[in-house]
Amino acid sequence: MSDKVKFISLDLLKRNTTIQDNVDDDILVPFIYKAQDTKVQQALGTTFYNRLKEGVVNDDLNADETTLLIDYIQPMLIEWTFYEVMPHLNYKFTNKAISKESSEWSTSSELNEIKYLDDRVRNMAEFYTKRLNVYLCDNESLFPQYQNPDDDENLKRKDTSYFSGIYIPKKKRIDKYHKRQV
């Protein structure tokens, strides 16, 4: 199986984000793979992720897998790809320097504006990740590779979608009326 399987096309990415048609496809493709490998694989687990990649290559996805891919994975992947590529759209990496792109009709964005946009895109990507996780948990019997991953799975699925930057462990509380942990 080829490692270079994309769950979204460049056209789908551009139609569903504010990425302009004139952005070079060669800039976008690595970020599709990066978002797919890090975010989608993490949500699905390696076993199910590889099954979907094989299904795309062999054109043998069943109806449930096709629905999952189109309705849940693709919207999530679009947002995570946009999030990953956004900081790089304004910069050009050459052997001489990292330069900032500009034109005579545009002005550079301020850092606080970029951070605001970055937060908005991340929030949307996290929403779609949560939506995927809920769908998979509610329908895990439809996807045996999700429900029963291989023993040698190298990346186990992660069922959480949001990261606020702060980890607060859950406290165990005692139900004082029934004298049990809740």
DSSP string, 89-125: TTEEE-SS-EEE---TT--PPPHHHHHHHHHHHHHHH
Reported confidence tier of residue 150, pLDDT bands at 50, 70, 90 = confident
The residue written with tokens 């959480």 in the block is 160
Query: Does residue 141 carry a pLDDT above 80?
Result: yes
Portion of the chain with pLDDT greater than 70, in percent: 77
Which of 180, 61, 76, 167 is CA-nearest to residue 126? 76
pLDDT band at 44 (very low <50, low <70, confident <90, very high): very high
37 has pLDDT over 80: yes
Residue 80 CA from chain centroid, whole number: 4
Pick from 35, 47, 51: nearest CA to 156: 47
Quote the pTM value: 0.79
Is the pLDDT confidence value at 153 over 90? no
pLDDT score recorded for residue 112: 86
Choose among 2, 164, 5: nearest CA to 73.
5
pLDDT on residue 9: 97
Which residues touch 94 (CB under 8 Å, ≥6 apart)?
Answer: none
How high is the pLDDT of residue 14?
A: 97
